[in-house]
Chains A and B, each alone.
Chain A
Amino acid sequence: MKYLDEFQDPELARRLLDEIRATVTRPWALMEVCGGQTHSIIRHGIDQLLPEQVELIHGPGCPVCVTPLEVIDKALEIASRPEVIFCSFGDMLRVPGTGRDLFQVRGEGGDVRVVYSPLDALRIAQRHPEREVVFFGIGFETTAPPNAMTVHQARKLGIRNFSLLVSHVRVPPAIEAIMRSPSCRVQAFLAAGHVCTVMGVGEYPELAERHRVPIVVTGFEPLDILEGVRRTVTQLERGEHTVDNAYPRAVRAEGNPAALAMLEDVFEVTDRSWRGIGVIPGSGWRLSRRYRDYDAELRFAVDGIRTEEPAECRSGEVLQGLLKPHACEMFGTRCTPRTPLGATMVSSEGACAAYYLYRRLQTTPAPREASPVA
């Protein structure tokens, strides 16, 4: 119980856990599809506080992790060009492509810059009309609207030296793919709260009905997760499979209409490859025809780059909940956050890194650098 004291409201946490314990009568497997939730679950030991019958499977909820190697290689190629200023969120710096990462490209003289917001990249383009500014547009439905608005602004302001390397992904098709997999063990989903802040819950009832799985919109703070699990387990025990919103303070049923309208204008749905999983139909966005001029893949002619994923990394199985990170032979030996073999070890939202940072501490006294974020 040592973790419980670290909760913001230990009394409420205890009540929620008691209620879950009183409700559960048989084993259930729940999947969370949000890297923030995975991080939170492992950091706070929520999976260990829950009754044994409740298993949490860590799904493909980290956008950094699911970005295919091929896209990273395209980014590295573009970032290496002398005329380019390549802008990215900080967590892409250490994601390994074939042989190197953005951090190294910068060391070799590439102009790689970290921005807090895509709009910062657009401002760099305004300040440097003589350079080509490219923003690395990855992320789920939460991040797509900011990137869409940035491209929209570029067009409105007539900024021509800006483009977007797009690798956006959508959660519902991933849920569909997971449920269709013959090795699927998932019986319910904790849906990602902030994805639903933008999208609302409209995409989920049909999925819940067709696959007969409860889908509970859940936040990523520890108490939010416990509440999401409580509602999910209650549904499972009653044999129900509805969409429930356990995160109403941030999620309205209709989502954010202005953001949805912008997504509709700037992007169109396309098939996307997910690292470790493969192509999922309709699981991503690309720039719509009206905005195709702003597509960095076309502008820099890197759309021909093809890369195979390395066989030794088993992140595909990790992402589908078929393998726990520490069960991978490379875990903590050849694969660490400093020498990541797969993207699930790179981002602190990736399941492998989360286990490395927090779970190892329970068995071995960790060296200081093993927990830079603690």
Chain B
Amino acid sequence: MCLAVPGRVLDIGERDGTRVATVDFGGVVKEVCLEYLPDLKVGEYAIVHVGFALQRLDEESARHTLELFAELGMLQEEFGDPWEAAAGTGGAHGGEEAHR
């Protein structure tokens, strides 16, 4: 849960009056709130925690970190199916909210 994952901004839009971005985390794409980093631009990298961009990151260290996370299975931990992980078995549970 404490994990903050670097991601690259694909595009920027608006939702309910707040700035949001579509962000790519090494293949997983999520909507991210930009209210705490309003001047972030398309193509830039940022550290994202639970759907909020918190700080800019340079491209090299972002890629480096993403590679490491992917290698260690940490992206799976962050974006995978938590019901499956909690059940310790796999398959049987829904978890549709987490997949969006």
Chain A residues packing against B (C-beta within 8 Å):
8, 34-36, 43, 62-64, 87, 89-91, 93-94, 103, 113-120, 124, 139-140, 142-143, 145-146, 149, 153, 156-157, 194, 197-198, 221, 249-252, 256, 258-259, 262, 338, 347-349, 369, 372-374
B16, B65, B88, B97: the one within 8 Å of A115 (CB): B97
Given contact pairs A36-B2, A116-B79, enumerate 16 new A-B contacts (beta carbons under 8 Å): A34-B2, A35-B2, A87-B97, A91-B1, A103-B87, A114-B97, A115-B97, A116-B100, A117-B50, A145-B54, A149-B52, A194-B49, A221-B65, A256-B37, A258-B38, A373-B73
Q: Are A157 and B16 in contact (CB under 8 A)?
A: yes
Chain B residues packing against A (C-beta within 8 Å):
1-4, 16-18, 30, 33, 35-38, 47, 49-52, 54-55, 57-58, 61, 64-65, 67-68, 72-73, 77, 79, 82-83, 85-88, 95, 97-98, 100
What's the least CB distance linking B67 to chain A, in Å? 7
CA distance A308 to B88 in the complex (A): 28
Which residues of chain A are within 8 angstroms of B52 by Cβ–Cβ distance?
117, 145-146, 149
CB pairs A–B below 8 angstroms (24 shown) = A8-B68, A35-B2, A36-B3, A63-B1, A91-B82, A93-B83, A103-B86, A116-B50, A116-B79, A116-B97, A120-B100, A142-B2, A142-B4, A142-B49, A142-B54, A146-B51, A156-B17, A157-B16, A194-B4, A197-B47, A249-B61, A256-B36, A258-B38, A372-B85
Which residues of chain A are within 8 angstroms of B61 by Cβ–Cβ distance?
249
CA distance A307 to B15 in the complex (A): 41
